[in-house]
Structures are given as C-alpha cells and as structure tokens.
Amino acid sequence: SQTIHQWPATLVQPVGSPLSLECTVEGTSNPNLYWYRQAAGRGLQLLFYSVGIGQISSEVPQNLSASRPQDRQFILSSKKLLLSDSGFYLCAWKRAGGRDTQYFGPGTRLTVL
Amino acid sequence: EDQVTQSPEALRLQEGESSSLNCSYTVSGLRGLFWYRQDPGKGPEFLFTLYSAGEEKEKERLKATLTKKESFLHITAPKPEDSATYLCAVQIRTSGSRLTFGEGTQLTVNP
C-alpha cells in the first residue's frame, strides 16, 4: 500500500528565515506530487505540482519554491519567510495519468513570527 | 471563471438528525468531483469520486450524488464521530490533474 509522509509536523520560524518542508511517498512509482496551503482551516490553495523529477509547475507567484530531486520526494522551500507564509501545508500524491484521486499527507503547521 | 461553492459554511446537527451538504460548481468541462473529510489539524481523507451526472456513491452513513450543476453529500443518522470539515473539489478537463477546492462545510454532530 502507498503512504505519504511529511515533516516536520509543526514548525515555528522567525520572519526572514529560510524554510524547507519535505514530503515523501512510499509504495508507488512516478507519482504526480502536489503542494497545497490551507489558511484558517478551510479551502486548499494549490501552490506547486510535479509530474516527474525536476519538473515543477507553479500555480501562484509567491515567496516559495518547490523542487523534486527524487521520484518520490517533493520539497517546499523559501529563502526568506514572510508573516503571510503561515499556514497548514499539505502534500498530496496521485497516480500518473487519468482521473485518479489525490491522497493527502498529514500536513505541516507553519507559524511565522 | 471556474468556481466551487459549498454550503452551508457550518452545520450543527443532533445525533440521528439526517441532512445534506451542498457543493455547486461552475466549470468548463467537469472531469471529476471529489469529496474529502478533514479532521482538525490533519490532512484531508478521501471519501468519494463522482464522474458523471446521476452517479451515486455510498459509504456507511454517507451518500454522495452528482448532477450537472452540483453534488450533495447526504448524511443519514449522523453520529458525533462524523463531526469534521467536508471538502469538495473538482477536476476540470482543461486543467490536467489539478483540483479546485471549495471552502468546506464544518459539520458538528452533538450527542
């Protein structure tokens, strides 16, 4: 079976500090990978998605970037955090191609102070 | 512009009191509609996928239905453990695998 991991689970960072959130998927190959941000516990906003190693599509211009150094690893980064970067960050995976469901990880709660 | 609207924003039910949550969408070519359940501080948990009008899916006390304009999540005789935020998302034919989410309905079931 497939599992998705995210770490850290929670993070408190000062404004202007760098960020690195990691997501890994087990039990599948060549998945589509996604980063979402959820503010105030409601709707999800798609930030980035990737269909393969080194292939990143950005949905929203912002202070963040994403990378996919390995097939089942997806990283969300920032060089300098802003207060507005606070939120709940969710990673998701989907089987490549077709209409298959996206499955979400446990999330990372980021607080920027 | 593609839009997904969920109503109500919040719903309080007594245990055993059946009700429905609504997800209306205005999109150019629906490829699929997804329902998720999210508990506080956790990632969304997949419930159902619906692909065409008239389709229905059931799981325990939940039943999802789809028309050309909206989807309903029917909750029959809910229990307190059904309390959660229910999210609806659509996949559009011209947008690849990307999902557009509604803002969710926060359901509270009182014992």
User: Are the C-beta atoms of B48 and B34 separated by less than 8 Å?
Assistant: yes
Nearest CA to A48 out of A19, A91, A15 is that of: A91
Nearest CA to B62 out of B41, B85, B82, B34 is that of: B82
Cβ–Cβ of A99/B98 closer than 8 Å?
no
Contact residues, chain B, for A43 at CB < 8 Å: 87, 101-104
Q: What confidence tens digit (pLDDT) does each residue in B9-52 have?
A: 999 999 999 999 999 999 888 999 999 999 999 999 999 999 99
CA distance B90 to B49: 9
Instruction: Please check whether residue A94 touches B, CB under 8 A.
Output: yes
Confidence of residue A100 (pLDDT cuts 50, 70, 90): confident
pLDDT-above-90 percentage for chain B = 87
User: Are the C-beta atoms of A92 and A100 separated by less than 8 Å?
Assistant: no
Instruction: Please check whether residue A105 touches B, CB under 8 A.
Output: yes
**What's the mean pLDDT in A73-82?**
97
Q: CB within 8 A of A75, min separation 6: which ones?
A: A20, A21, A22, A23, A66, A67, A68, A69
Amino acid at B31: R
Q: What confidence tens digit (pLDDT) does each residue in A25-65 have?
A: 999 999 999 999 998 756 899 999 999 999 999 988 688 99
Output phi, psi for B83, to 5 deg.
-65, 125
